[in-house]
């Protein structure tokens, strides 16, 4: 009857702890909803509760938990589903949407939409909290990190990103494997019984070691490639996911990187020259986006990707100014940059998507962030002006100097042209006298190359 698998239905759960105001709490749930949609699930409702802390056994209080269980078709009690739990969530995962009605429903309405098979918690919860919630709700439970790891898993394209994500994913799965050993195949096919569990743990350890080795190799290559670019003029686009970094990358470099209205569209760093080319040319990199509560393992695994940002001379810090929560996005991004040590790199704040901001709000933004650049990645004039700003930034750091290229070393001329702007060329008995303008570091390196025998 059905030609396509049904869209899994999910219900969101959020706890508002002291210190988080209503707006931030709502925004966080809204963002979780977007993450869940990015996974391809349909969000059919949410349960939210104010609590003093998050570390209860079931995240939610008794009343709310029962309310949730009534929606998902569980019992609402932690103890009662333990026996029939094995691989039930898996089964539900496979035929989500056409579940048999719960035993408690004596006369199920055949017209009623299927119950949500997923409960998605807007916090990082412990494996035992997840297990308790699964028992009470009869649904599969994922937390924020689980959702993000899953999105990364689906969006990874390059070999490096795939390895990084697999590593983060195994690290996420491993402790859950231990806690839910009775859960059978629930964990992506891992673990079914004690001895298998041991085996799985060892497999995971071995695989992690293998992944680390492969990543180290790739990263060594990347380091070399990066250090070859060391003295070039480099700009990195950084910021919250969906802020418009890839859109600006396309507009500035004419490259065809993926632009998509989904979270974490970009997981790979792309480096392209600014177009039309500047002299010396400027390299622009697009990077993975940030998000609130970015899982630590993912930050760690993307550190090398973000090394691009670390080594740039200028960060274009992109913010979606049309997003009502842009301020918290700004703060989250600042924190991540601080965490990876990139907060020392000079940066310019780019308030993007300004085409979606009212004139009054624009004025307020200008007053609040006098140094920021307000623009729209979709406006060619704005992009051209940004290009001038980038060039201006490097121009200010450049110096004029003179290099002597001995006649025996004419082969190095292209190196000079690539790394500096040649102002004039002259000849005398020592060789070609070249007046150049460039970054002091690049000129110093050229001088060393020319002097070396
Ligand atoms: N209206 C408007 N939409 C924009 C602008 N810039 C980007 N967008 C849209 O915003 C969405 C996200 O853009 P991306 O460029 O993919 O964002 P990103 O920062 O690369 O996102 P990730 O790769 O997921 O971190 C897309 O739907 C873009 O079309 C803009 O200036 N104005
Ligand atoms: Mg992108």
Distance of alpha carbon 94 from alpha carbon 6, whole angstroms? 9
Averaged pLDDT for residues 248-253: 96
Q: Would you say the CB of residue 38 lies under 6 angstroms from ligand 1? A: no
Query: Tokens at residue 50, please?
Result: 């104010």
Distance of alpha carbon 375 from alpha carbon 372, whole angstroms? 10
| 3-state DSSP assignment of residue 45 | strand
**Predicted confidence band at 250 (pLDDT cuts at 50, 70, 90)?**
very high
Which residue has the CA at smallest separation from atom 32 of ligand 1?
A: 353
Q: How many residues comprise the chain?
A: 453
Q: CA 223 → CA 75, 323, 342, 347, 367, distances in Å?
A: 54, 36, 17, 23, 41
Whether residue 85 has pLDDT greater than 80: no
Which residue has the CA at smallest separation from atom 1 of ligand 1?
A: 353
Give tens-digit pLDDT for 268-314.
778 899 999 888 889 999 988 888 877 777 777 667 667 777 788 89
**Predicted confidence band at 162 (pLDDT cuts at 50, 70, 90)?**
confident
Least distant ligand from the CA of 270: 2
By CB neighbour count within 10 A (0-12 exposed, 13-18 middle, 19+ buried), where does 363 fall? exposed
Percent of the chain with pLDDT over 70: 86
Query: Looking at residue 109, what is its pLDDT?
Result: 65
Nearby residues of 381 by Cβ (< 8 Å), 6 or more positions away: none
Q: CA 106 → CA 88, 111, 386, 424, distances in Å?
A: 21, 15, 65, 90
Q: Would you say the CB of residue 157 lies under 6 angstroms from ligand 1? A: no
Distance of alpha carbon 288 from alpha carbon 356, whole angstroms? 24
Distance of alpha carbon 12 from alpha carbon 48, whole angstroms? 8
- 235: region left, alpha or beta (phi > 0 left; psi from -120 to 50 alpha): beta
Averaged pLDDT for residues 99-128: 73
**Among candidates 58, 55, 64, which has minimal Cα distance to 81?**
58
First vs last C-alpha separation in the chain: 77
Mean residue pLDDT across the chain: 84
Which residue has the CA at smallest separation from atom 3 of ligand 1?
A: 353
Which residue has the CA at smallest separation from atom 11 of ligand 1?
A: 261
**Entry pTM:** 0.80
Q: 345 alpha carbon to ligand 1 midpoint, in Å?
A: 24
Q: Are 317 and 239 in contact (CB under 8 A)?
A: yes
**Among candidates 405, 431, 435, which has minimal Cα distance to 420?**
435
Q: Choose which residue among 152, 237, 260 to substitute to test ligand 1 binding: the one with the highest number of ligand atoms within 8 A of its C-beta.
A: 260
Q: How many CB atoms lie within 10 A of CB 52?
A: 9
Of ligand 1's listed atoms, the one at least distance from the Cα of 354 is 31
Whether residue 22 has pLDDT greater than 80: yes
Q: How many CA within 13 A on the CB side of residue 399? A: 9
Of ligand 1's listed atoms, the one at least distance from the Cα of 267 is 23
Distance of alpha carbon 128 from alpha carbon 82, whole angstroms? 13
């Amino acid at each position: 009857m059905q030609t396509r698998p049904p869209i899994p239905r999910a219900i969101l759960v959020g706890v508002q702890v002291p210190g988080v105001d209503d707006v931030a709490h709502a925004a966080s749930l809204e963002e979780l909803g977007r993450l869940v949609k990015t996974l391809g699930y349909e969000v059919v409702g949410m349960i939210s509760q104010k609590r003093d802390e998050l570390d209860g056994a079931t995240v939610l209080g008794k009343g709310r938990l029962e309310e949730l269980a009534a929606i998902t078709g569980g019992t609402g009690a932690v103890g009662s589903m333990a026996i029939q739990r094995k691989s039930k969530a898996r089964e539900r995962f496979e035929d989500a949407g056409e579940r048999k009605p719960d035993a408690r429903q004596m006369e199920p309405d055949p017209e009623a939409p299927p119950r949500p098979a997923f409960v998605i918690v807007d916090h990082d919860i412990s494996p035992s909290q997840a297990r308790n919630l699964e028992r009470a709700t009869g649904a599969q439970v994922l937390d924020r990190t689980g959702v993000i790891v899953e999105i990364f898993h689906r969006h990874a394209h390059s070999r490096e990103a795939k390895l990084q994500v697999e590593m983060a994913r195994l690290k996420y799965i491993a402790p859950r494997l231990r806690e839910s050993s009775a859960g059978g195949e629930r964990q992506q096919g891992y673990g079914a019984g004690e001895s298998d569990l041991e085996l799985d743990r060892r497999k995971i350890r071995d695989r992690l070691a293998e992944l680390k080795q492969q990543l180290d190799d790739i990263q060594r290559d990347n380091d070399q490639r990066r250090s070859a670019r060391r003295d070039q003029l480099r700009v990195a686009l950084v910021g919250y996911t969906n802020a418009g970094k890839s859109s600006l990358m396309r507009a500035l470099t004419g490259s065809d990187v993926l632009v998509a209205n989904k979270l974490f569209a970009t997981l790979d760093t792309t480096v392209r020259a600014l177009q039309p080319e500047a002299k010396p040319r400027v390299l622009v990199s697009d990077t993975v986006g940030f998000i609130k509560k970015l899982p630590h393992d993912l930050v760690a695994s993307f550190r090398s990707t973000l090394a691009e940002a670390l080594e740039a001379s200028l960060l274009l810090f992109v913010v979606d100014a049309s997003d009502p929560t842009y301020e918290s996005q700004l703060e989250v991004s600042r924190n991540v940059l601080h965490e990876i040590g990139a907060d020392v790199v000079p940066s310019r704040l780019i308030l993007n998507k300004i085409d979606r901001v009212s004139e009054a709000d624009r004025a307020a933004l200008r007053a609040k962030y006098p140094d920021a650049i307000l623009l729209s990645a979709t406006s060619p004039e704005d992009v051209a002006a940004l290009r001038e700003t980038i060039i201006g930034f490097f121009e200010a750091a450049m110096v004029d100097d003179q290099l002597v290229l001995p006649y025996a070393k004419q082969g190095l001329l292209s190196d000079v042209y690539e790394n500096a702007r040649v102002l004039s060329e002259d000849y005398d008995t020592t060789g070609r006298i070249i007046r150049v303008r460039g970054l002091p570091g690049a000129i110093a390196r050229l001088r060393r190359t020319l002097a070396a025998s």
